[in-house]
A and B are shown apart, each in its own frame.
Chain A
Amino acid sequence: MTSIKTVLAALVALLCLAGSAAADDAAIRAGLAKLATAKGFAEIETVVRELGATGDPAVAKPLAALADGNLYVRKSDSSVFIGNEAGGSLALLDPVTGSAAGTAAKGEMTKIRVNNAVRRAVREAAGSLTLGGEDAAARLSAADALFLKPDPDAIEALDAAIAKETDAAAKARMEQARAAAVLVSDRSEAEKSAAIRLIAGLGSREALNLLTGFEASASGALKEQAAAGISSIGSTLMAWDGAQNVWYGISLGSVLLLAAIGLAITFGVMGVINMAHGEMVMLGAYTTFVVQEMIRSSAPGLFDWSLAIALPCAFLVAAAVGVAIERGVIRFLYGRPLETLLATWGVSLILQQGVRTIFGPTNREVGNPSWMSGGFELGQLAITWNRLWIVVFSLAVFALLLFISNRTAWGLQMRAVTQNRRMAASMGIRTPWVDAFTFGLGSGIAGIAGVALSQIGNVSPNLGQGYIIDSFMVVVFGGVGNLWGTLLGAFSLGIANKFLEPYAGAVLGKIIVLVLIILFIQKRPRGLFALKGRAVEA
């Protein structure tokens, strides 16, 4: 503790001098040199704390490199460098000034190894170092770190920083961090009571965490106040939990919709029980993989565009395979559902084993472009970018399909052929080609679903099997032959699943949904939106 006190004293002094005074480089270099000789993680952690104690912002850079595993020791003279991998060797940077210091083969350098305890120590040290920094975002993240790991000795430094802070968000966060620190300090009851009020007002999970920790050791009026704060946060969070479940449900629903929408055409509109539908999704995912590999090797700058490039490719690949299956197998089997089922199941096995032979049985890595990674918080809702984009994408695909089927000549022919084949043929429609293209469209849509699903799951030969049952479930539940039914079916199944899961668990939840669907089908054999009229019997 005393060492941290000295750090903070130094930090306060530093802030008073407006950051002009910097501890000399030599002290930092001496500290870094200790890293080279440190034995074990505990010693490295001590050195990190010592370096943090210098209070010099220049320490932040080597510490960040250490946490990222980029700090190296040169074997020949035990000097420390920041190393960045560049084509099999390491480009060295001076740890303090950041200037280039030549390159070295990997064998000449030893990486300084870190574990989670060291990473935590770096994060905490960096928190106090950047509190007075130039960059508002860095100050905000420093305040974040202090809020999560409150330290009574940091109160003075926070006071000084709050007085100087001009950025409203950073200032608010610093005040919260100060309140958190007050809770664990030995300050007066009045101050603590104000701190509890401030923190309870946040209503967030972290605030709950802090108050729960405080309540366990508090007594008297403060304990009661903390308990009241906990219950008020608890009820706020409960409401948010409901909203979060709806979001999760929508997100699961969009995945179901994507997987099922191609099937809504091949099964729903054409009436073909296509067991190879999941494999079309898989082909789309593998196309994404191939496209990404090509981009990685020839044009790495385009990586963020890889999904956009993969979409048309995946559509074409899956559609081509779909047309081939229709022309080669299914057209001989129209009106014989059992044979179609068996034949397409065989096709699905062939496709799986084919992919396994070409790409190997193990998972393939499909990367997330930067705009698909991470997440953000809306109030207390955690929303991840990949899920959000998939929801948007699934709705876009749905709208496109609806447009094709209801507003284009081809869509009209498609519906005409499926409703009354002979009549359509006498009107001059080439029914075999309409069949092939409709099947191709359904398969192509499954292919682009594969592009999206590669972002949340794994890309392996078995990928399709995970979706086939769910897809049929959605189409049957929604009502065969109706795109709107598929949309509604997907989202209601998704939301029902997510509301059941917290109470029943994932395994039982899934079973309950299945049982409910069976009961529902007993009552309404044609699903949510039954087609009416003569088309039904066709």
Chain B
Amino acid sequence: MFKITTATRHLIASATMAATISFAGVAGAQDDTIKIGILHSLSGTMAISETTLKDAMLMLIDEQNKKGGVLGKKLEAVVVDPASDWPLFAEKARDLISKDKVAAVFGCWTSVSRKSVLPVFAELNSLLFYPVQYEGEESQRNVFYTGAAPNQQAIPAVDYLMSEDGGSVKRWVLAGTDYVYPQTTNKILQAYLEAKGVAKDDIMVNYTPFGHSDWQTIVSDIKKFGSAGKKTAVVSTINGDANVPFYKELANQGIKAEDIPVVAFSVGEEELAGLDTGPLVGHLTAWNYFQSVDNEANAEFIKTWQAFTKNDKRVTNDPMEAHYIGFNMWVEAVEKAGTTDPDAVIDSIVGVSVPNLSGGYSTMMPNHHITKPVLIGEIQADGQMETVWQTSGLVVGDEWSDYLPDSKDLIADWRKPMSCGNFNVVTGKCGGQGTN
């Protein structure tokens, strides 16, 4: 039933162009429930990725209620639609916290949407769980970053390609969409590669606009760059919609993974669902979770998900796993603190350890980032990834990159008495500035 009402509401919302009117998933405030805010775009350009996360959160809340809720109270989801409009994210966040009085918010996808809500969460002192891999260079008291920091995705991927297993790559194309995440990640990667002795001439950086659809020139440039007698790889931070035409052009121009592998940081099972992956077999992705990971917890999660969405072909992906981890961490921290009060949860959540879906445990660190394994997967003909390499242990999310001159001396530790997100270990003062 819920699906239909949401659908109708979407229609109405767009028809009246009233994207600004908030609509709550479940109406009516009751005191004996704990409210959880879900702040994901359900319309506009980011709906393609974020709608899935809204559904995943509804499922997690549903499952928790079946287990009896939290602190003896049922959980109640409050869904809002920020419509891929960055300032609207801040407005919606404010509504969620001050009007709906939610205990915590799970949401945002793009970095710019996260940056837009940060002041709201700091001002109103609430909690945000952010589930997407991002560029780092940030650590906020009210935000928990359950996606990967650059050292949990980008750097291990490059390490793998440099290794003999990955093909001893000597020449690098860093291709990305023109916005903050690819630019910062590429800055970190460039510094890292140069520290590893890669010459400047062997790195090609290329940016394209959002939704870029004509990749002919760039793919042939990559081909050209790759024919200099050295093993070449492409590190792709190309985002969202632009990926499908990019991969189609790669396949048609005959760039094979054996010759020039492409490792992507923003391409998951969901993105591949719109693509014939036959010609792409062997190209790589780097994540902390794949649907194909073989263990009981994951099989259970996939089963619940497909039953919840009533579609046995629905795929799972990395940001969904991040919400799974983040949500369970919040539940555990609330149980530990005995209250949903944000200050108490911020204190109690550090050190909380919950099972992740790749067969181990993830722990919330004092910098509000979590520990994760890093997996390198190969795209298969059926649109799934197959793990070909993984880090031997868990990797701690590093909020301030060690490879950028501005941020290498900074650390974050939100435990008392330090309680600082940008402590400079050289000057011994809180309040350092990173790259952004």
Genuine A/B complex = yes
Residues of A participating in the B interface, judged by any CB pair closer than 8 Å = 41-42, 69, 113, 115-117, 119-120, 123, 205-206, 208-210, 212-213, 216, 244-245, 248, 251-252, 255, 345-346, 349-350, 352-354, 356-357, 360-365, 367-368, 373-375, 382, 384-387, 456-462, 465-466, 497-498, 501-502, 505-507, 510
Q: Given the known inter-chain contacts A361-B48, A363-B273, please indicate yes or no for A252 contacting B15, CB distance below 8 A.
A: no
Q: Is the interface of A mostly helix, strand, loop or mixed?
A: helix
A462 near B167 with CB under 8 A, answer no
**Can you name 19 A-B residue pairings with CB atoms under 8 Å?**
A69-B281, A116-B261, A119-B257, A119-B282, A120-B258, A251-B216, A350-B15, A357-B10, A362-B273, A363-B241, A363-B273, A363-B275, A373-B279, A387-B252, A457-B245, A458-B243, A461-B47, A466-B241, A502-B217
> Which of A42, A248, A350, A374 is B216 in contact with, Cβ under 8 Å?
A248
> Which of these binds chain A: B108-116, B189-197, B222-230?
B222-230
A507 near B216 with CB under 8 A, answer no
A354 to chain B, nearest CB (A): 6
A506 near B209 with CB under 8 A, answer yes
Contacts of B270 in A (CB 8 A): 362
> Which of these binds chain A: B31-39, B130-138, B295-303, B380-388?
B380-388
A251 to B43 Cα, complex, angstroms: 32
> Which of B165, B218, B244 is A363 in contact with, Cβ under 8 Å?
B244
B7 near A357 with CB under 8 A, answer yes
Q: Given the known inter-chain contacts A362-B274, A505-B207, please indicate yes or no for A212 contacting B254, CB distance below 8 A.
A: no
A208 to B254 Cα, complex, angstroms: 18
A364 to B273 Cα, complex, angstroms: 7
A459 to B380 Cα, complex, angstroms: 21
A296 to B405 Cα, complex, angstroms: 55
A210 to B274 Cα, complex, angstroms: 38
Contacts of B13 in A (CB 8 A): 353
A208 to B275 Cα, complex, angstroms: 33
Beyond known contacts A42-B165, A349-B14, A502-B221: 17 more, CB 8 A cutoff: A41-B165, A113-B388, A123-B258, A244-B220, A248-B216, A353-B11, A354-B11, A375-B252, A382-B253, A385-B252, A386-B252, A466-B241, A501-B217, A505-B206, A506-B209, A506-B218, A507-B209
Which one of B218, B229, B257 has the highest number of Cβ atoms from chain A below 10 Å of its Cβ?
Answer: B229
Counting CB contacts under 8 A, is B433 at the interface? Answer: no
> Which of A248, A459, A466, A501 is B211 in contact with, Cβ under 8 Å?
A466
B207 near A367 with CB under 8 A, answer no
B227 near A115 with CB under 8 A, answer no
A216 to B229 Cα, complex, angstroms: 10
Q: Given the known inter-chain contacts A244-B220, A354-B11, please indicate yes or no for A374 contacting B271, CB distance below 8 A.
A: no
Counting CB contacts under 8 A, is B74 at the interface? Answer: no
Residues of B participating in the A interface, judged by any CB pair closer than 8 Å = 7, 10-11, 13-15, 17, 42-43, 45, 47-48, 51-52, 165, 167, 178, 206-209, 211-214, 216-218, 220-221, 223-224, 227-229, 241, 243-245, 248-249, 251-254, 257-258, 261, 270-271, 273-276, 279, 281-282, 378, 380-381, 386, 388
A42 to B15 Cα, complex, angstroms: 59
A375 near B253 with CB under 8 A, answer yes
A502 to B217 Cα, complex, angstroms: 7
Pairs A-B, 9 closest by C-beta atoms = A363-B274, A213-B229, A458-B244, A384-B252, A353-B14, A349-B14, A209-B227, A506-B208, A361-B51
Contacts of B178 in A (CB 8 A): 507
Q: Given the known inter-chain contacts A205-B227, A384-B252, A457-B244, please indicate yes or no for A69 contacting B381, CB distance below 8 A.
A: yes
A532 to B240 Cα, complex, angstroms: 45
B274 near A365 with CB under 8 A, answer yes
Contacts of B227 in A (CB 8 A): 205-206, 208-209
Question: Closest residue to B276 on the A side, CB-wise?
Answer: A367
> Which of B17, B45, B224, B252 is A374 in contact with, Cβ under 8 Å?
B252
B47 near A361 with CB under 8 A, answer yes
A365 near B208 with CB under 8 A, answer no
Contacts of B208 in A (CB 8 A): 506-507
A459 to B273 Cα, complex, angstroms: 11
A458 near B252 with CB under 8 A, answer no
B209 near A373 with CB under 8 A, answer no
B17 near A353 with CB under 8 A, answer no
A179 to chain B, nearest CB (A): 16
Question: Closest residue to B216 on the A side, CB-wise?
Answer: A248
> Which of B10, B52, B254 is A353 in contact with, Cβ under 8 Å?
B10
A252 to B224 Cα, complex, angstroms: 20
A205 near B229 with CB under 8 A, answer no
A465 to chain B, nearest CB (A): 8
Contacts of A208 in B (CB 8 A): 227
